[in-house]
Structure formats: structure tokens, C-alpha cells
Amino acid sequence: MIPSKGGGKDLDNLATRIIRPLHEIWAPPSGFAHASNTDNIKEKGNREYWEKARNKLPKALKYSITEYRVFELPRLPDDPKEGFVRLAFDGGLQPVQFREESDDYLEKWENSFDL
């Protein structure tokens, strides 16, 4: 999030204002067992395994955004005065190590320049 020129917004409140509508629009599965359609699994043992795994999960958590992080970034001179928000998404199959992945990405970017 890049804050407005007049000042930032509480990041928790901002996240809530964004996460709730995304959750309602996309209804993301809270886990892999909820995402799989067992009707399409032909092999009986595999189908039973995933049905059992899905049935063990709490019913209230069938749909849920499982993780999110909010960062306030410093304003740059050309940023719009009202500020803005950028979103990045991941498939959710593995935990995201944002800082480590960002450091790796930036290092590769820096190494791509001929200095």
C-alpha cells in the first residue's frame, strides 16, 4: 500500500476492507481437500482418501483466504496523491516466504544490469 499524500491508513483496517470483498467474490477453498472435486477421481482408493480428508475439515472453513500480508511502502514523488494498493496472489500450495523471495528477486534484478 502506498499511503495518500495526507497520511496513511491503519493497515489492519485496510486489509479487512480488501479481504472481505475478495473472499465473497472468489470464495477461495481453505485447503486442497476442499478444492478437489472427488467426483472426477476414478480410482476408488484415491477418491475415498480425499473425501475422508475433506470430511475431517471444519465445515465453517470451507472457503477462506488462508494468509495475507500488508506492507506500507514509502511514497515516491510521482505517486498519485490519493495513494494506491497493489495485490499479489499465490496458489497457496506452499507457505510464502515473502522477504526471502523478494530478496532473491531483487538480487537477480540487480545482477541483470551491466554495471
3-state secondary structure of 4: strand
Residue 44's pLDDT is what? 92
Q: Report the percentage of the chain scoring pLDDT > 90.
A: 3
Cell of 7: 497520511
**For the segment 89-108, what is each residue's pLDDT rounded down to a tens digit?**
776 666 667 777 778 877 88
**For the segment 15-51, what is each residue's pLDDT rounded down to a tens digit?**
888 888 888 888 887 766 666 678 888 899 988 988 8
Q: Do residues 3 and 72 lie in contact, with contact meaning Cβ atoms separated by under 8 Å?
A: yes
Average pLDDT, the chain: 79
- The residues spanned by each domain of the chain are 11-90
Cell of 32: 486442497
**What are the distances in angstroms from CA 10 to CA 7, 16, 48, 60, 62?**
10, 10, 46, 28, 29
